[in-house]
Structure 1
Amino acid sequence: MSAISRACRSAPRVLLRQCASRFATVSAPVSASLPVSRLSRRTYATALDTANLLKKSGSQGAYKAIPKRFWESANVQTTEDGHQINLGTRPVKTSSGNPLVVPHNKTALAHLIVQEWATLPNLQIKPHSLPLTSIAARAIDIQKMPTQAEVDDVRNAICKALLPYVDTDTMLIFAPSHEYDGRLRAEQEERYRPIIEWAETHLFNGNKLSYMDGDKGLTGNPQTEEIRNLALEYMLGLSHWELTAFERAVLGGKSFLGGIKLVRKELTTSELAELVSLENIHQMRRWGEVEDSHDVDWADLRRQLGSAAVLLITD
């Protein structure tokens, strides 16, 4: 124990208890009567490394205090440019330094963003904490690019990243007919096929979409060049706000067709989330739900699709 004691001696006093606790945990299986020389090398090294880490952490302790909120209330300030989101008297800024100002016709979005900040307990912001703030900031930063050429570059990059989803769309992959006693394939045919046929008629000029048939094995389903060009044309025709919502919907649901339907407000968040999760739903019906896995994934999917849907709401 003398070597570990020397390692811990110069560590902050407030951390010595943590060091001792950690050592007790890792060395618990070893009899207390055994000398240090007979401890396993891995156990001894683990305790020694812990002591060294605690020593390097500084006199303020191993854990940094979480910054507290600096505002008492969040609010909406209507300006000539739109609805500005403030924390107290300070405007919220995007990652590019632009004030978070949403258009006048997106009053609901502005107040829902305020609600996000009003319920934020501290400044320990996690990726899922501010979905509406992040997606609105994304649209604003695209719109506020210094030059039109830069705006076009960003939009083209988004379209290029989303175009492969035309080939791998969730709604273009059909399960084998024998799986889940045929129930999954039957539901896919019932719910995916009308959307596919609608897209072929109204978006792809009558061109037939290729789809993966599980009865024929795992084969790719690349679309024709004409379909890809029409898909690109569709994306470039969207406004900045629509393209931002479409981007999140496609990335969240892994469905190009689903993203189109959400932007057109022809599917609700719940409907789209269920459509792109049909296989998982059938798995859970048969095998049950895995706690802290299926439920977390479902909540995250609805959060992403929901923020995209809210971005599209207008007065």
Structure 2
Amino acid sequence: MPSEMLIKIFSYLDTVSLLAVGRVNRHFYHLANDNGIWLKIYSSCFQPKKTLWKMKSEQTESVSLGCAALHDRKPGYWKKEYIFKQIAVVKARVMQLVKPVDPYTGLPCKNKEAMKASGLSWIIVLKDKIGKEHVMEEANLSFKDTSVTILWYSTDWPCLDILSTLKLFGVIPLLPDQSRARSKNGPRYRSLIAEYRLANLTEKSVEVGADKLVRLFCLNSGLVVGLWKVKNEIAFVMTSLHYHQLFERSTLGSATVKYALPPHKPLLDDVDPEYGLHDYSLHLDMHGRSCTYLCGTFKSLFCRKGRVGRTVRCDFKMIPAVMFSFYIQYFCFKGRNLN
């Protein structure tokens, strides 16, 4: 089929389908990058401030390839412009949503709305010993004041014995305008958050509880894996992600490298050299996936220099099995300006 006819057919496709067609082969890739097609898409979504081309009434469905907007532009130029513009629009919308900050936690108040606006979601990728990947989309989300709890469950998990690694990714659509549809087949960008080794899971991980049907194992960084007792296979996977720099961790990494958080250097108080931090507040949030069991803020706290930067460890074996789905989230901040 002639290239001109294929370009005409491609001009009737939406952006997601157009990107998918470009992955068929090299010839289709070059045709799907046609500036005439993408300029039409761009101009239909973003009204230009100045008209760079003249269009007669009978030419409303096509753009002349000899116009100034297409002249001396490399193939794919307007495709990139369209994608970058869409990302910029969504980013501006998200930034407006995350501006209001909770005075007690220091975290944005509208995290749920911001995540929905950006199309952000999370997936886990299970890789077996021969390199095949099994992608599990999120099944259930629970938003709290300081964190989001994600639960993956399915009846079609791959066999545990053949699995080698589990990777947790933040996922955003390449075309944010398609985020409302949440198409699993559309182009998406992955950002690696954490990676876990599943080989010899029951021997190398800590068993934190069990009931008549399921055994619970806790991996580092707060990932909980439930295994069926009878088959010793995966029943569900659950994790809780704190809102602190969650957008950065979920969007600014790559498919192979995690986003490197900037070093945290707490400010030392010079009132008394023996004290490390003064007038801090601790916000504690203990919850399940569906309800909150404990939520409170403790003010006027301090710690000595030797304890700055230390983490709090909990012995999960001391907690009843029913409590394993609960998470305690901490966020301390300077509290002198609080009323």
Name whichever structure is richer in helix by fraction: 1
Name whichever structure is richer in strand by fraction: 2
- For normalisation by structure 2, the TM-score amounts to 0.22
Work out which of the two has the higher radius of gyration on C-alpha atoms and give 1 or 2: 1
- For normalisation by structure 1, the TM-score amounts to 0.23
